[in-house]
Structure 1
Amino acid sequence: MIYTVTFNPALDYVVWIDALRPGEINRTQSEAIQYGGKGINVSTVLSALGVENVALGFLAGFTGRALEEGLHNLGIRTDFIWLPEGLTRINVKVKGGAETEINGQGPTVGPTALRTLQDKLDRLEPGDILVISGSVPAALSHDVYEQILARLEDRGIQFVVDTTRNLLCSALPYHPFLIKPNNLELGEIFGKAPVTDTEIRHCAAQLQEKGARNVLVSMAGDGSLLVDERGGCHRLGVPKGKVRNSVGAGDSMVAGFLAGWLETGDYSYAHRLGTAAGSATAFSDGLADREKIMALLKTL
């Protein structure tokens, strides 16, 4: 079973307008409510690909109830922890020329709620996959990723970690099955953004030396590069299509990679399906569906 953890889920209120004009009334052309948070994005695309999973995280208030109901309507299993105060955040995504985002803070996650999450994760079994991704709410300790991984170490659980800089580096000693930095995040880690494939591969190899098993580096329109634990290096560009949305593309790539690897055990195929899933989301107004993903897979 795959479990995803989202520390700070969100209802994303997405609006499309001709152009954002600050200081004036802006009227929408269309609008939608989407269910956001990196782990939730992974769960959504996994479910679209027919891969069973459970979404965990923290919810609060009427916005949390709306998010949970929406995920259930999509057929996604959840096991959220309910907080006694606050509201699950609402993020506003404005699509008008350049993308503009206004992200809410979300409720406070206290130590009791964190212990409840740890108790749930203690029930994972050997062979399960745990996906932890995104930032950590301010109320939680900066080493919360490390706490979770240390608690589950040596239990045969596969870890997937998709986050930035210190959070990512602190996870490496626990030998995550997959990490997915982008090339800019590699620059934050190593002090200089890699440009060439050789430089990216060198950075990925250093992350493997520190403990990562498979390193998938996304590079937006320049494609992606995978260095796998068997010594293989896989390079893919992106399929043709018009970019409509940048939100969730990286999470979709993680979901596609996991779905492909679980299906075949082949890293090359997993990379291709991950690329197709990430691109399908980038070419959609929301997260990609199975039909779009499989159509793009045929072009890779």
Structure 2
Amino acid sequence: MIYTITFNPALDYVITVDHFQQGLVNRVCEEHIFCGGKGINVSAILKELGYESEALGFVAGFTGDEIVRRAKSEYDIKTDFIKVEKGMSRINVKMRSDEETEINGMGPQITDEDVEKLFKKLDTLKEGDVLVLSGSIPKCISPRIYEEILERLQDKGILFVVDATGQLLVNVLAYHPFLIKPNNHEIEEIFNVKLETEEDLVKYANKLQEMGARNVLISLAGDGSLLVDENGNTHRLGVCKGTVKNSVGAGDSMVAGFVAGYLNNGDYDEALALGTACGGATAFSYSLAKRDFIDECLAQLKGE
């Protein structure tokens, strides 16, 4: 079974405003509401690819109830979120205009007791399960929460997938996650370097492996993706061709596609291709990608 964790999910209120002007009344010309959160996004794409998963995390208030409702009605994914008593789940405003602007809400107050409930759920995971940890964590939770989870479960034969940044990512490497997905800029920040060539990318991916990561998947935005696998092989792919409509969820889609591709047959070339296709399909859609479009992007990458 695949499990995803979203520590701070949200309702994403996505609006389009023609030529936004600060300080004036602006009229919305298009609006959509989605249940947001990196783990939820991963679960949604996995469902499109035929893989069941269970979305875990924390929700609160009427917004939390709506997140759960939409996760089930829009994405048909199984959820087992912990209902937190204090506060409410976030509403994030994402405005598309001449520039993209985001305003993110605060989120609920998660207590030690709430975290312990999550730990007890995770204790039921067994060998062969996949656990996807993605995104930032609320300030009310220990900054070591990722480490604590991997340390608690490290001897159970679980495949850990971590999509995080900075020290949050670095600190889990000692627990040998199956997959990490930094982008080139995040690697530059971790090592305080400037990456200028593909050889530089491979060099620092190898350093991340020396620190404990098994597979390092690097997203390069318009330049495609690169994978250094646990067998020491380097895999490189370009991007799908299309018009970018949406930057939200593309990285999560890549993670989901890679996991599904690997679970299909254990082939890293196939995993990278499906991950890249999923990321591209979401980037070229106004919401998370659908299976038909993913298949189109995959065929394009394979030259079919």
* TM-score after normalising by structure 1: 0.99
Q: Provide the C-alpha distance between the structure 1 equivalents of 2:17 and 2:56, rounded to a whole number of angstroms.
A: 33
8 Å Cα contact 1:183/1:193 also seen in 2? no
Deviation, 1:110, is 0.9
Give structure 1 regions of 4+ aligned residues with deviation exceeding 3 angstroms: none
Q: Which residue identity does 1:268 align to in structure 2?
A: D
Give the match for residue 62 of structure 1.
62
CA positional deviation for 1:292 = 0.9
Sequence identity percentage: 57
CA separation in 2, counterparts of 1:29 and 1:228? Answer: 45
Amino acid of the residue matched to residue 72 of structure 1? K
- Which amino acid in structure 1 is aligned with residue 118 of structure 2? L
- Give yes or no for the alignment of 1:280 onto 2:281: yes
Stretch deviating more after TM superposition (23-32 or 78-87): 23-32
**Could you say which residue in structure 1 is the equivalent of 2:88?**
87
SS of 1:286's equivalent in the other structure is coil
Which residue of structure 1 lines up, in the alignment, with residue 7 of structure 2?
A: 7
Describe the superposition over 1:171-199 as per-residue Cα deviations: whole angstroms up to 9, x where unpaired: 10110000000001001101013121100
Secondary structure in 1 aligned to 2:160?
Answer: strand
Correspondence for 2:26:
26
Alignment of 1:4-153 (within 5 A): 4-73=4-73, 74-153=75-154
What is the CA distance between 1:252 and its match in structure 2? 0.5
Shift of 1:39: 0.8
Structure 1 residue runs of 5 or longer lacking an equivalent are none
Aligned residues: 300
The residue type equivalent to 2:131 in the other structure is L
Q: CA RMSD in A?
A: 0.8
On the 8 A contact 1:9/1:88 being kept in 2, the answer is yes
CA distance in 1, matches of 2:294, 2:99: 25
Is residue 3–residue 56 contact of structure 2 (8 Å, CA) maintained in 1? yes
Indicate whether 1:251 and 2:252 are aligned: yes
The residue identity in structure 1 corresponding to 2:39 is G
Does structure 1 residue 192 correspond to structure 2 residue 190? no
Q: 2 CA distance for matches of 1:285 and 1:26?
A: 22
AA in 1 matched with 2:10: A
What is the CA distance between 1:24 and its match in structure 2?
Answer: 1.2
Secondary structure in structure 2 of the residue aligned to 1:29: strand
Whichever residue aligns with residue 3 of structure 2, its letter is Y
| SS of aligned partner of 1:299 | helix
Deviations, residues 241-281 of structure 1 (Å, cap 9, x unaligned):
01111111111000000111111210001000000000111
Q: Corresponding residue for 2:291?
A: 290
1:35 shift after superposition = 1.2
Aligned-partner SS, 1:244: coil
Residue type at the aligned position of 1:19:
H
